[in-house]
Amino acid sequence: MKTYIANFRKYRFLLIELVKKGIKLKYRRSYLGILWTLIEPIMTTIVLSIVFGTLFGNPDPTFPVYILTGRLLYSFFSSATNGAMKSIRTNSGMIKKVYVPKYIYPLSSVLFNFIIFAISLIVLIGACIIFKVYPTIYIFGVIIVLALLFLTAFGVGIILATMAVFFRDLEYLWSVALMIIMYASAIFYKVERLMNSGYAFILKLNPVYLLIHNFRQAIYGHPLNMHYLCASIVFAVCVTGVGLFFFYKKQDDFILYI
């Protein structure tokens, strides 16, 4: 363990530079730049609120906050896992030339997406003020949820990064999987509708929904669902452990396929 920690500290400056590079590349040739991180969720929430709130007759005045909480978390998970999946092939030139711990690449991808996600939370704070969703002591549960969200995205991302080296079509399959995850995360519809239909198990099998649910609980001033929290912890730890094992097992073969 000490060896791994020392190795990480040795290359931490490279990690910081890769994170900076990721943020710069994301907004390269963009006039709005980092401001788009704030504008995009606002525009998306307005559209979804009109379609699924006004047109569908949803009486909840805080519905935009409900949508925004789900939309922000899902967007981070989607961007982080997609970026991590492509990270090894994207940095193939560097991997072929110099030795760097290869896990640095998917980790940097998840990290820079998390920073962008953290900035976008400013929009959520503004929405909570506008729609009068005030914090309580349970707001500190957000820290736990976001830590688990990061760990889950990294674990899934490092598995995808490993598989994508050998199986290029995974990129297209994952886009379909993300669409399924989105619809099974109750982002723009109330959970009660699915609960009453007998398909609640679909939500409970989705680790992203479990995190979104507890994030909403904390934002709306309610205690975290402990069953969901325990399931999220188990999934995050297991998927990260499996991902790291799988990655280290196959990383020496990357050079033959990239």
Question: DSSP 3-state assignment of 32?
Answer: coil
Contact 37, 126 (CB under 8 A): no
Q: What's the rounded mean pLDDT across residues 234-257?
A: 90
Helix axes 63-90, 207-219, angle to 10 degrees: 140
- Select from 101, 84, 114, 98 the least CA-distant residue to 8: 101
Contact 32, 39 (CB under 8 A): yes
Distance from C-alpha of 142 to C-alpha of 91, rounded to nearest angstrom: 33
Contact 174, 99 (CB under 8 A): no
- Select from 151, 140, 17, 23 the least CA-distant residue to 77: 151
Stated pTM of the model = 0.90
Q: pLDDT of 132-163, one tens digit each? A: 888 899 999 999 999 999 999 999 999 999 99
pLDDT at 1: 61
Is the pLDDT at 233 greater than 80? The verdict is yes
